[in-house]
A and B are shown apart, each in its own frame.
Chain A
């Protein structure tokens, strides 16, 4: 069996999308890997995106983020959040044609014994020192359920046209 398998790929059209979501994810892989190239319509330099699993909007997420805006470093955390946030994307007042990069690893997503960890790496350079932003966010979903639905949503506004999303199932050695 191939190591990397495309589960789903989508691109936002001209009307924008509030979120990307993939349901009915099988349990046949060892890990999930997600990449996106996104921009958000909100009138700001950057806006957070957030991740949810299995449509769970309860206070079942814990996150820790380390990021830089320009030359300043910041840390963010939330130990009873409704989702995994602190995952920023360029928005309407960022330079034109700038889309941010995001990748997310979700190891052992289908196990039913442990809570699920997600490691998110994201960022973009923006042509303005004060508004460049990048960081890493560790997210914990405090559920032992197998992940069968993955959602990435704009914190406000919608994802712009040409935003792309790809979800992979990744296998180890058999």
Chain B
């Protein structure tokens, strides 16, 4: 008899959604978070699509820092492509948001423990049968029928079971962000800088955070990071454009923008969220995809336990459902990201010059991508695929 049906490792959005779905499905569920607090430290730009989020919840006003209705994309020569989009998205307070999701999991019946650092797995032959963890210096272990690894970009739990979860350098964005005060930015607009000036292989973002505050950050491909780090680039940018800004918080982190791992299940184990590389490869956004992945994982886990089969075969609905719903879009976005990486600054400027001639009422993200596709025709099919799925 196992201590739990399901043990979820990691209390971010993916882990909490997995725990909630598993508990709702009747599984005795425990969520372990390594840090002292759910939701802190925040390692995230905190932007999220409005419609996408509402699939899961009606967000409480307290968790929303800003509501976005305008998007600006700047080319390397600083040509601004502006477009409006009602109800485009939110900038969240992840600290509040993550706690709310974990609370939902606990309302569904899941138990939660923080300061629980998982440092090993219990295994019987090839099957994962529980976790070893440390709590305040004590070594503990608990058995479970299924472990759901939602342990973020580090993805160590999967490795402990022998899955290859490490991220290749070419698929890793090195990210840094400061939350600043005393800046005058449009609180309804998100502002992106693309091109090699600030963020080669990624982009720089300014996300309003309410009341004269904003998140300013960037992600660059790991290969560009060694001699001019994400930290140094971000601070150069702030010094240049917002010299009076005050630094209220700073955070760094890695964003895995490769394809979802081929293998996200093993006997008694499921990987989800960043740990499974579910992040959107173009935007680097991982909140929604993590929530989707976590929810599917939790549902499938509960069903597999009811059926009494937690083997890789018994869990196969999870990769299948992920692939049917999000996976195809994800793969199209991955191919788009590979093409975007080949676009030169000159081409970006040319695209921007073309787009600013378009009336802004006709501009949308889709229009931007189709204009990019005129430079890179092989992108067109994937753009259609990706947006059909959005």
Q: Are A and B part of the same complex?
A: no
Name B residues whose Cβ lies closer than 8 Å to a Cβ of A: none
Name A residues whose Cβ lies closer than 8 Å to a Cβ of B: none
